[in-house]
């Protein structure tokens, strides 16, 4: 469900592997006729891929992948309640819902209580998946369906690693987008690769600290869904979050219609930090940047003026379950 670049790329690779796949789109007309997505030009749909605008056509599916933006997930779950009971729902979005301050797995638990929640996340660009380039992702699922779902969604070019730590997997995918905006702003402002490396390293410490505070296992963040995704999105202009940071650093305009999950995640995490006293200086700086409250150089000056401290591995705090 969701015919953006990422959802469509997953549908293509699964259909190419011999699965019968239905791709639900809000406006399927052009794609159904041309058998190609305008977001993935030149990549033809396999024969096993059917495009539909009828959500009811997904009833009875083996699993449903929810590939809509994070801020649209709640509305999607509310809109189609008949689809969810007994269904395995794998969220493919990365972020934190601004209204509820929770991740996708908790949204599924709250709004589709009869479903089995899962999260598919990790370092990937849609075009790479659609072209059949080798990609490894994390599949987080705590139910008995986990191993079967891992086998169903893996293909010769798409390798899935399994974890039962849904909080860790989704927080890694969400929080790295915030750091990617910061890394892009550093490069866009001409501050250099050394500053980017420092941003990534201290950003990863911040990600690990926040995830542990919210009940995740710290080691999950060292895997594909945390560190792996962080490396990809902080170093490539294919990342929309990184490009958003570049624009901020350069003072360039940015297409406001483009989904940049890290902006909403920074705002949500800043609110959580206010509530809990969690120390998230880079996240707070990014939230202020995207809201136009500070410049890149002002944010940098604030970060560089922080009290000096020892460097140490992030320590796990007792899980406090900050979710509502």
Contact 103, 170 (CB under 8 A): yes
Which two structure tokens, joined as six digits, stand for 123?
Answer: 């370092």
Give the active site residues: 176
Taking 90 as the threshold, does the pLDDT of residue 323 lie above it? no
Q: Is 292 exposed, middle or buried (0-12, 13-18, 19+ CB in 10 A)?
A: exposed
Give the closest residue to 16 by CA, choosing from 40, 192, 28, 30: 40
Between β-strands 49-52 and 116-121, what pairing exists: parallel, antiparallel or unpaired?
Answer: unpaired
Chain segment 42-101, per-residue pLDDT in tens: 999 999 999 999 999 999 999 999 999 999 999 999 999 999 999 999 999 999 999 999
| pLDDT category of residue 316 using cuts at 50, 70 and 90 | very low
What is residue 314's DSSP assignment?
P
Q: Which long-range contacts (CB under 8 A, 24 or more apart) does 161-166 make?
A: 161/122, 161/136, 161/137, 161/223, 161/224, 162/138, 163/138, 163/139, 163/220, 163/223, 163/225, 164/140, 165/140, 165/216, 165/217, 165/220, 166/103, 166/105, 166/117, 166/118, 166/119, 166/140, 166/141, 166/142
Mean pLDDT (the chain, rounded): 94
Chain segment 299-311, per-residue pLDDT in tens: 999 999 999 988 8
Contact 70, 94 (CB under 8 A): yes
Which two structure tokens, joined as six digits, stand for 172?
Answer: 């890694």
Contact 139, 91 (CB under 8 A): no
Chain segment 256-305, per-residue pLDDT in tens: 888 899 999 999 999 999 999 999 999 999 999 999 999 999 999 999 99
Bridge partner list, 74: none
Provide the pLDDT for residue 200. 98
Query: 2-6, 199-203, 313-317 — which is least confidently predicted?
Result: 313-317
- What is the average per-residue pLDDT within 136-158? 97
| pLDDT category of residue 315 using cuts at 50, 70 and 90 | low
- Residue 22's H or E segment, with its range, is strand 21-24
pTM attached to this predicted model: 0.93
Sheet-wide strand order for 88-91? 64-66, 88-91, 116-121, 135-141, 158-163
- What is the average per-residue pLDDT within 225-236? 98
Provide the pLDDT for residue 318. 43
| Domains parsed from the chain with CATH numbers | 5-164 (3.40.50.720), 167-304 (1.10.1040.10)
Taking 60 as the threshold, does the pLDDT of residue 324 lie above it? no
């Amino acid at each position: 469900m969701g015919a953006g670049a990422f959802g469509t790329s997953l549908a293509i690779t699964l259909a190419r592997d011999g699965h019968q796949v239905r791709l639900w789109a809000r406006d399927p007309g052009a794609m159904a006729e041309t058998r190609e997505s305008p977001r993935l030009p030149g990549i033809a749909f396999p024969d096993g891929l059917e495009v539909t605008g009828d959500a009811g056509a997904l009833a009875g599916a083996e699993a449903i992948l929810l590939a809509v933006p994070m801020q649209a997930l709640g509305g999607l779950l509310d809109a189609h309640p008949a689809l969810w009971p007994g269904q395995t729902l794998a969220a493919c979005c990365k972020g934190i819902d601004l209204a509820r301050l929770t991740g996708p797995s908790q949204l599924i638990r709250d709004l589709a209580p009869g479903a089995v929640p899962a999260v598919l996340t990790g370092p990937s660009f849609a075009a790479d998946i659609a072209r059949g380039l080798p990609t490894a992702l994390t599949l987080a699922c705590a139910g008995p369906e986990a191993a079967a779902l891992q086998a169903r969604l893996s293909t010769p070019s798409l390798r899935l690693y399994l974890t039962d730590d849904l909080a860790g997997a989704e927080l890694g995918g969400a929080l790295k987008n915030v750091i990617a905006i910061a890394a892009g702003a550093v490069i866009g402002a001409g501050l250099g690769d050394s500053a980017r490396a420092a941003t990534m390293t201290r950003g990863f410490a911040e990600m690990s600290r926040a995830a542990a505070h919210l009940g995740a296992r710290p080691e999950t963040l060292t895997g594909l869904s945390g560190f792996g995704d962080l490396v990809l999105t902080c170093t490539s202009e294919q990342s929309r979050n990184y490009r958003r940071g570049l624009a901020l650093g350069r003072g360039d305009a940015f297409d406001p219609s483009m989904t940049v999950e890290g902006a909403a995640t920074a705002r949500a995490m800043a609110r959580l930090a206010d509530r809990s006293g969690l120390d998230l200086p880079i996240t707070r700086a990014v939230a202020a940047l995207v809201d136009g409250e500070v410049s890149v150089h002002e944010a940098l000056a604030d970060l560089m003026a922080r009290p000096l401290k020892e460097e140490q591995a992030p320590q796990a705090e007792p899980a406090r379950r900050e979710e509502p």
